[in-house]
């Protein structure tokens, strides 16, 4: 009886700790952002989000995040496929390096991109010779977004490929299907939920990137100023209302994306 009471008490305390953690570190900050943005009413909120610089920053962020996500879909799918299906020298090292953007401070990633693609680098000099610049322009922002979101699609695709029943693929070959047809009719449908969820997470992460982007973007208002850097600038300018309003836009969009990811995963598990 005492053991049963202790187990119930321990379980109750554990659940309470989790709920307190969730409320203090997640729920309250989110409520605070929404409360700050609407503290003065709908009019000031709309005025903040409809500011030309804010609107351009949000649209630029969406555009470049979509480009980075598309790149990650192709790169992540190919790399995930290669790491599971092929054995080659350095495979384990490459597989471990996939998670480097998660472990590396994003500011360090931005510095790496700056040194690699800057005007004094070999790549930057070649680009200038061809008549365009990379750093302090939109391409550098895309590179930074791709770098910080690189692992999402790969890590979402790999488990699905590992669980794929090879007998289905072999049956397709036995029935006369080519490798291309077998890939798109047997393998790709299995990979698609992972590609979709990984892409949505990569897009959501790219929307909020700051550390890697701020060093390579140039932060020119209306041209290379993205939403996260705009929010930082508003805080520096003592305008928390404007910063909170733009944050709410990104936060709401992230909620929608996470809901879509959960929907995709639940349908996959239900299947």
Residue 120 near residue 219, CB atoms below 8 Å: no
pLDDT over threshold 90, residue 51: no
Distance CA 129, CA 135 (A): 14
Q: Number of helices and strands (H, E) in the chain?
A: 15, 0
pLDDT tens digits for range 81-117: 888 888 888 888 888 888 888 888 888 888 888 888 8
Residue 141 near residue 220, CB atoms below 8 Å: no
pLDDT tens digits for range 148-181: 998 999 998 888 888 877 777 777 777 777 777 7
> Within 10 Å of residue 18's Cβ, how many Cβ atoms?
10
Residue 258 near residue 92, CB atoms below 8 Å: no
Cα 266 from chain centroid (whole Å): 20
Banded model confidence at residue 9, pLDDT cuts 50, 70, 90: low
pLDDT tens digits for range 180-231: 777 777 788 888 888 888 898 899 889 888 888 888 888 788 788 888 888 8
Residue 152 near residue 205, CB atoms below 8 Å: yes
Average per-residue pLDDT in the chain?
A: 82
Q: Count of alpha carbons within 13 Å of 105, Cβ hemisphere only?
A: 5
Residue 37 near residue 243, CB atoms below 8 Å: no
Banded model confidence at residue 68, pLDDT cuts 50, 70, 90: very high
pTM of the model: 0.82
């Amino acid at each position: 009886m005492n053991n049963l009471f202790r187990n119930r008490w321990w379980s109750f305390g554990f659940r309470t700790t989790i709920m307190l953690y969730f409320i203090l570190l997640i729920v309250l900050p989110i409520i605070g952002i929404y409360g700050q943005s609407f503290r003065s009413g709908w009019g000031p909120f709309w005025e903040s989000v409809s500011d030309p610089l804010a609107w351009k920053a949000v649209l630029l962020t969406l555009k470049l995040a979509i480009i980075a996500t598309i790149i990650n879909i192709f790169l992540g799918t190919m790399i995930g496929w290669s790491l599971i299906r092929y054995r080659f020298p350095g495979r384990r090292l490459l597989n471990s390096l996939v998670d480097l953007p998660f472990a590396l401070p994003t500011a360090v990633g931005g510095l790496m991109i700056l040194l690699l693609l800057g005007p004094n680098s070999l790549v930057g000099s070649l680009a200038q010779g061809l008549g365009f610049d990379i750093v302090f322009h939109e391409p550098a922002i895309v590179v930074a977004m791709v770098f910080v979101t690189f692992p999402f699609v790969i890590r979402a695709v790999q488990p699905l490929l590992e669980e794929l029943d090879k007998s289905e693929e072999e049956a397709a070959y036995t029935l006369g299907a080519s490798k291309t047809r077998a890939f798109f009719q047997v393998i790709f449908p299995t990979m698609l939920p992972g590609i979709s969820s990984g892409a949505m997470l990569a897009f959501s992460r790219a929307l909020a990137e700051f550390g890697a982007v701020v060093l390579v973007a140039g932060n020119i208002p209306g041209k290379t100023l993205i939403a996260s850097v705009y929010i930082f600038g508003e805080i520096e300018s003592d305008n928390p209302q404007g910063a909170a309003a733009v944050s709410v836009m990104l936060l709401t969009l992230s909620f929608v994306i996470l809901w879509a990811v959960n929907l995709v995963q639940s349908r996959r598990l239900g299947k």
